[in-house]
Structure 1
């Protein structure tokens, strides 16, 4: 499949990049001036979305979907069972008919709204997937409810990131101007501080060259032990119970994407392990040999430059490979280490190494 120019640059690093032993992905703490500035700007950005006319906001979501390659249809208001936008993703592998509801909320979206979308999806014969988009956030019970269901939840921070990623910067121009003018931006008398902000998730993007497909998994751990079976995120379990780590398909030109809300990870979690595995279930002869020129890219926020680390190529003797791990230090920051290890027994062996039990097929 074709890859972007960005991918080709990343997959052919110079010698100094390839021999880098450590890349730190450091997340700003809430008590830093820089992070307060980012949060102030995010409040302004969400306020601009909240101030939109409802129809204008739905049209913006429709334009975003078109920019992502979908064929889109805005539905007649109050005449289509609560569906605001319908889209057709023509991708032959991940495509389908998508129904979208949008919620311009200040506060956390209630689980009942998520259940209502699922009910609509079940009764819509044409739809294969539902998406709920909000300017606020979703609680843990909503993420638990959608686990294993063809429903995607997009919170306000993710929506802002998607809009910027697909070129809708003009939507937020006024927010940047306001924050530059008043400095703080979240202490004014216009009620902006009342908006409930969702933590902006980091995007972990994996790129590699060649035509081989690989599965990406993440284990949320305390030390070298996964917290539970539900804290293994992979193709059969796309999210942790609280939604802090999610596997996302079809994100830009990435081969794979994990959304990680580091601040929302369980308090007893101090490690996040990233693993790549060959699809031996469908291709018994598959190995990691085609995992060539791999690069891991951290997009920590829509307004921060991405950090890139180049990893070692896969080996023909292995069918899974630990790419590295994020560790939380005593101050609460997360550092990434490319801790490479090969597994001849595939994802099964990698999971067992972190204390999980797997039933044999």
Structure 2
């Protein structure tokens, strides 16, 4: 498992106590009326973005990137190969030169747009990664295409979440006041809304750095190599599970669209691992006060579980698993296990073969 990039090290909140060894997460499906109300609000929020002046929208994306700590420059329109914003991320792990293209679309972004951006990235001598931002959504083939490539796709629901997370609430003021109104009223354009994924945040205390990984499984067997999400593979082939950055109140973050997980998958395993490739002496001994926070989509309430500290005899640690029950809901159970052999040992335990770099 060669390492091409590293998860971003984010802020480190304190954990006052670790008193719960077994708690339950549940990906709840709310009643139809509640879902309709939240969907109406999300549609109106995306309609407001879609109705923005193109230049104003690009400036908003640039301001968001600045709020995330990047140095940003807007490009001259129609003079930079379709690139709308350029950013420099100075973080030593996730950093690089980023090119960003924005699509104020109301329908699903065509896979050709994703391929075109990849072509632009390949011919750009300065850029190391690319981001495609849209007000709508991406299809499975687009997620499959970017798998393993330095491209990030941000759909409309995720964009709204990032904007709110970084304090741009004023953009959606009228959507909040008019949440009960039918979305087609007011002359706003219709928009295709992506499913809002859950955010699975991992916190720990101390100064050590750790990675988060996820295995999409049937029982105790991962579906494929592509269904291991870790620092060298940031997304499943269908985009249902992805590593993301930009949530500054978490050490690491996974986006999980539980409804989009493959129908033959019934388990999602979460693992934390020490960075032994860059720090051979690293262990899980510094993994103190770990906590998982589930922030479900559609403005549902968060759920929290505190876990046991890591042990210096291990270099990876299984934190727990989500299991799909007969009703289609996902329950989380802490299922701690230590791996002296690191992430490699954890992966092999779930049926995957690992070749030496």
TM-score interval (norm. to shorter)? over 0.9
Q: Give distance in 1, aligned partners of 2:280 and 2:90.
A: 29
SS at match of 2:236: coil
Q: Give distance in 1, aligned partners of 2:110 and 2:76.
A: 24
Q: Quick check: 1:359 aligned with 2:355?
A: yes
Structure 1 residues 360 and 72: alpha-carbon distance in aligned structure 2, compared to 1, 3 A threshold: closer
Q: CA RMSD in A?
A: 1.9
Structure 1 residues 173-252: aligned runs within 5 Å: 173-180=173-180, 182=181, 185-186=182-183, 194-252=190-248
Q: Quick check: 1:167 aligned with 2:144?
A: no
Offset of residue 224 of structure 1: 1.5
Residue in 2 that maps onto 1:22? 23
Contact (CA 8 Å) 1:216, 1:276: kept in 2 or not? yes
Q: Give distance in 2, aligned partners of 1:257 and 1:155.
A: 17
Return the match for 1:296 from 281, 288, 292.
292
Offset of residue 189 of structure 1: 8.7
Structure 1 residues 154 and 2: alpha-carbon distance in aligned structure 2, compared to 1, 3 A threshold: closer
Offset of residue 97 of structure 1: 1.4
Contact (CA 8 Å) 1:25, 1:298: kept in 2 or not? no
Q: Give distance in 1, aligned partners of 2:326 and 2:183.
A: 29
Report 1 or 2 for greater relative contact order, CA contacts < 8 Å, sequence distance ≥ 6: 2
TM-score using structure 1 length: 0.91
Q: Give distance in 1, aligned partners of 2:184 and 2:92.
A: 49
Q: Quick check: 1:12 aligned with 2:27?
A: no
Contact (CA 8 Å) 2:131, 2:153: kept in 1 or not? yes
Structure 1 residues 223 and 213: alpha-carbon distance in aligned structure 2, compared to 1, 3 A threshold: same
Q: Give distance in 1, aligned partners of 2:219 and 2:187.
A: 45
Contact (CA 8 Å) 1:136, 1:155: kept in 2 or not? yes
Residue in 1 that maps onto 2:277? 281
Offset of residue 302 of structure 1: 6.5
Offset of residue 306 of structure 1: 2.7
Structure 1 residues 344 and 222: alpha-carbon distance in aligned structure 2, compared to 1, 3 A threshold: same
Residue-by-residue CA offset, 1:274-316 (whole Å, 9 max, x unaligned): 0111222333322211111111111213633432211110011
Contact (CA 8 Å) 1:161, 1:301: kept in 2 or not? no
Residue in 1 that maps onto 2:4? none
Contact (CA 8 Å) 1:164, 1:302: kept in 2 or not? no
Q: Give distance in 2, aligned partners of 1:105 and 1:224.
A: 40
Q: Give distance in 1, aligned partners of 2:233 and 2:27.
A: 27
Structure 1 residues 55-134: aligned runs within 5 Å: 55-134=55-134
Offset of residue 346 of structure 1: 1.5
Q: Give distance in 1, aligned partners of 2:347 and 2:36.
A: 38
Structure 1 residues 191 and 93: alpha-carbon distance in aligned structure 2, compared to 1, 3 A threshold: closer
Q: Give distance in 2, aligned partners of 1:243 and 1:221.
A: 15
Contact (CA 8 Å) 1:74, 1:84: kept in 2 or not? yes
Q: Which runs of 4+ in 1 moved over 4 A?
A: 186-192
Q: Give distance in 1, aligned partners of 2:186 and 2:171.
A: 23
Q: Give distance in 2, aligned partners of 1:117 and 1:3.
A: 32
Deviates more, 1:296-305 or 1:130-139: 296-305
Residue in 2 that maps onto 1:45? 45
In the alignment, structure 2 segments of 5+ residues that lack a partner are 1-8
SS at match of 2:25: coil
Q: Quick check: 1:342 aligned with 2:350?
A: no
Q: Give distance in 1, aligned partners of 2:230 and 2:131.
A: 20
Contact (CA 8 Å) 1:74, 1:86: kept in 2 or not? yes
TM-score using structure 2 length: 0.92
Contact (CA 8 Å) 1:273, 1:322: kept in 2 or not? yes
Offset of residue 333 of structure 1: 1.5
Deviates more, 1:149-158 or 1:326-335: 326-335
Residue-by-residue CA offset, 1:312-347 (whole Å, 9 max, x unaligned): 100112121110111112222211111111122221
